[in-house]
């Protein structure tokens, strides 16, 4: 699944006219880079959620055939549901096996993580070194497990793997996935890995302008 529904408030005025997932870096949109990487990893079926200016995404990507993919859409154009709510709504489209989720507004060259989880793990988060513009990280990584910490060293990259059961007990509506991470990290149910290669959160016009892939 590629999360592409957000308004991209911090990227205004660029996102007044195009969805943030279609912002171009190095002559190619972020969304299309992700689709190419998913295809190269052997993935054939992709769900994209739609929100702000979602029609432009459908116009660009269509059925996904040009990328060697079968793309289906989870429509949130009437009410964008944030990360957790968006994934939860799309669960019927994602099947019963573990699936990867990628935030559309990141640039990275990391390999798509394996869609396998240990029996006692409900999710896997790829973490990155915390960027200089952030005051603190999100989590620590201890013996291969994502852990909460008073002074976390690493930042969530926007690439993750979930079992559908990770969202058991959730209800339809707007909610963030972050509290679910926190609770599962306390239970030791999230594995993690650290990626130190090219990665950027293209979150503001200044970051976009200064970024050189």
Dihedral over Cα of 55, 58, 104, 143: its sign: positive
**Residue 91 falls within a domain, yes or no?**
yes
pLDDT at 46: 98
Asked if pLDDT for residue 38 goes beyond 80, the answer is yes
**Residue 56 falls within a domain, yes or no?**
yes
Cβ-Cβ contacts under 8 Å for 19 (sequence gap 6 or more): 4, 8, 51, 52, 53, 54, 56, 57
**Residue 190 falls within a domain, yes or no?**
yes
* Total tally of structural domains belonging to the chain: 1
Q: Give the mean pLDDT of the chain.
A: 91
CA distances 145 to 162, 176, 189, Å, are 14, 21, 8
106-108 and 99-103 beta bridge pairing: unpaired
User: 52 and 22 in contact (C-beta within 8 Å)?
Assistant: no
Span 64-123, pLDDT tens digits: 999 999 999 999 988 899 999 999 999 999 999 999 999 998 999 999 998 899 999 999
User: 196 and 128 in contact (C-beta within 8 Å)?
Assistant: yes
pLDDT at 52: 83
**Residue 205 falls within a domain, yes or no?**
no
Per-residue confidence band for 60, with pLDDT thresholds at 50, 70 and 90: very high
DSSP alpha helix (H) spans, 41-177 = 54-61, 82-94
Q: For the chain, list the strands marked E by DSSP.
A: 2-4, 24-25, 28-29, 45-50, 70-75, 99-103, 106-108, 123-129, 140-142, 145-147, 154-162, 190-194, 199-201
**Residue 157 falls within a domain, yes or no?**
yes
Cβ-Cβ contacts under 8 Å for 131 (sequence gap 6 or more): 155, 200, 201
Asked if pLDDT for residue 8 goes beyond 90, the answer is no
Whose CA is closest to 48, among 74, 13, 21, 82? 74
Lowest-confidence range among 96-100, 126-130, 204-208? 204-208
Whose CA is closest to 154, among 127, 181, 188? 127
**Residue 171 falls within a domain, yes or no?**
yes
Span 149-184, pLDDT tens digits: 999 999 999 999 999 999 999 999 999 999 999 999
CATH assignment of the domain containing 18: 3.90.550.10
CA distances 62 to 21, 80, 125, 140, Å, are 15, 21, 29, 39
User: 100 and 160 in contact (C-beta within 8 Å)?
Assistant: yes
Asked if pLDDT for residue 206 goes beyond 90, the answer is no
Of residues 151 and 16, the one with the higher pLDDT is 151
Q: Containing domain of residue 176, as a range?
A: 2-198
**Residue 208 falls within a domain, yes or no?**
no
Q: CA geometry: angle at 36 spanning 154 and 41, to 5°?
A: 70
**Residue 40 falls within a domain, yes or no?**
yes
């Amino acid at each position: 699944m590629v999360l592409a529904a957000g308004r991209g408030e911090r990227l205004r005025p660029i996102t007044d006219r195009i969805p943030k997932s279609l912002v171009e870096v190095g002559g190619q949109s972020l969304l299309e880079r992700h689709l190419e990487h998913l295809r190269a990893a052997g993935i054939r079926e992709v769900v994209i959620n739609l929100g702000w200016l979602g029609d432009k995404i459908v116009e660009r990507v269509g059925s996904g055939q040009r990328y060697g993919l079968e793309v289906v859409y989870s429509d949130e154009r009437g009410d964008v549901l944030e990360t957790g709510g968006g994934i939860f709504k799309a669960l019927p489209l994602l099947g019963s096996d573990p699936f990867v989720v990628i935030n559309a507004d990141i640039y990275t060259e990391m390999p798509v993580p394996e869609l396998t989880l240990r029996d006692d793990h409900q999710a896997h988060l790829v973490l990155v070194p915390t960027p200089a513009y952030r005051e603190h990280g999100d989590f620590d990584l201890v013996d291969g497990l994502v852990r909460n910490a008073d002074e976390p060293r690493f930042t969530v990259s926007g690439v993750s793997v979930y079992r559908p059961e990770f969202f058991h007990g959730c209800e339809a509506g707007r909610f963030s996935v972050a509290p679910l991470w926190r609770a599962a990290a306390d239970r030791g149910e999230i594995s993690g890995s650290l990626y130190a290669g090219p990665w950027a959160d293209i979150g503001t016009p200044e970051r976009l302008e200064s970024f050189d892939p």
